[in-house]
Amino acid sequence: MATKQIKPIFSTLLRPLQNHRIRIIRTIVQFVMFGLLSGLIFGLARIPMLLPIAFPTGGPFSTVWNAFEALQYLLTYWIFPYLALSVFFLFGSILGKTTCGWVCPFGLFQDLFRLIPIKKKRVSRPTNKNLSKIGTTILVFILIMSFIIGITFNNSGVKTTFGAGKDMPFSTIDPSSTLFATLYYYLYWGMQSASFGAEIGQWKFLFFLRIIIFIIVLGLITVYPRAYCRWLCPTGVLLGLFSRFSIFGLRINKNRCTSGCDSCEKACPIQVPILTYDKDVTNKMCINCGECIDACKEGALKLTFRI
């Protein structure tokens, strides 16, 4: 076959890869990061590092600390969580929510759920914004609860009232803990011993509450891409406080935009109103995933350092 004929066939075959270049690179990075974060499977050691991601510290293979869990844990022992807060500040103000888009294992899990061939739905812009307030409410509630437990501990030195949630209240219902820790432990112990019923029995209510919340989240993320990140995740909310001012982020060059085109907004899993920004897209929900960049045929968008 002549070279002239091979060339178009070759470029047709490669087109899907070119059209999703960032998504492909990001997926590879997400899997590599998941491998490193679950490194105990491969015999990697745990390292003393806090990351702003949804991945349980107490998971069977976890190699790092979850910064939001550390924050709760310290508050409940009446210790000011300066290190955990610094992690949110540093990551948020430098990289924005890049860890959400590229590192967080629960983010990867949600991206994989998007592959289920069920028609995805979008919500209106105000609804998207209003639903994100649920995450803020969860964050405030968890911080107040940790604070109250901390005061009790400070006064009495004991922590009993809050039962299983006495150290990290959110972790008792956190869907990422349910996925990466609880389900694993229950299944593992269940298969290892005949006492599975007894194990569940001790924490029956909490176990079923966890499972119900997890199933609701699964339903949501199947229909609404990254619904957990958009509307519920307290780690994402905390990062978002700083990501508006981040040094790294998305930038649009509107001179390149074609009139009437909104391909970038349609491609955005988070439904960020990209076209309402004139230059830097400083939306606190943006996870720097780059899917809008893949979708823009005019090269009007880029992830860049904004200094």
104 binds ligand SF4 (CB under 6 A): yes
User: Is 52 or 150 the residue whose CB approaches ligand SF4 more closely?
Assistant: 52
User: Is 56 or 290 the residue whose CB approaches ligand SF4 more closely?
Assistant: 290
Identified binder of ligand SF4 from the candidate list 229, 252, 296, 300, rule CB under 6 A: 229
Residue list 237-256, contact with ligand SF4 (CB under 6 A): 250
Question: CB of 92: closest distance to ligand SF4 in angstroms?
Answer: 11
Q: Closest residue (Cβ) to ligand SF4?
A: 236
67 binds ligand SF4 (CB under 6 A): no
Question: CB of 229: closest distance to ligand SF4 in angstroms?
Answer: 3
Q: Which of 106, 244, 239 is nearest to 179 (CA)?
A: 106
225 binds ligand SF4 (CB under 6 A): no
Identified binder of ligand SF4 from the candidate list 54, 74, 95, 168, rule CB under 6 A: 54
User: Is 75 or 293 the residue whose CB approaches ligand SF4 more closely?
Assistant: 293
| Bridging pattern class, strands 248-252 and 50-51 | unpaired
**Burial per residue of 210-238, b for 16 or more beta-carbon CB atoms within 10 angstroms, e otherwise:** beebbeebbebbeebbbbbbbbbbbbbbb
| Per-position x/- string for 258-297, each x denoting binding to ligand SF4 as judged by CB under 6 A, each - no binding | ---------xx-x-x-x------x----xxxxxxx-----
**Burial per residue of 38-75, b for 16 or more beta-carbon CB atoms within 10 angstroms, e otherwise:** bbeeeeeeeeeebbbbbbbbbbebbbbbbbbbbbbbbb
236 binds ligand SF4 (CB under 6 A): yes
Question: CB of 153: closest distance to ligand SF4 in angstroms?
Answer: 27
CB neighbour class for 240 (10 Å; exposed up to 12, middle 13-18, buried from 19): buried
Question: CB of 145: closest distance to ligand SF4 in angstroms?
Answer: 19
233 binds ligand SF4 (CB under 6 A): yes
107 binds ligand SF4 (CB under 6 A): yes
User: Is 102 or 186 the residue whose CB approaches ligand SF4 more closely?
Assistant: 102
Residue ranges binding ligand SF4 (CB under 6 A): 53-54, 100, 104, 106-107, 228-229, 233, 235-236, 250, 267-268, 270, 272, 274, 281, 286-292
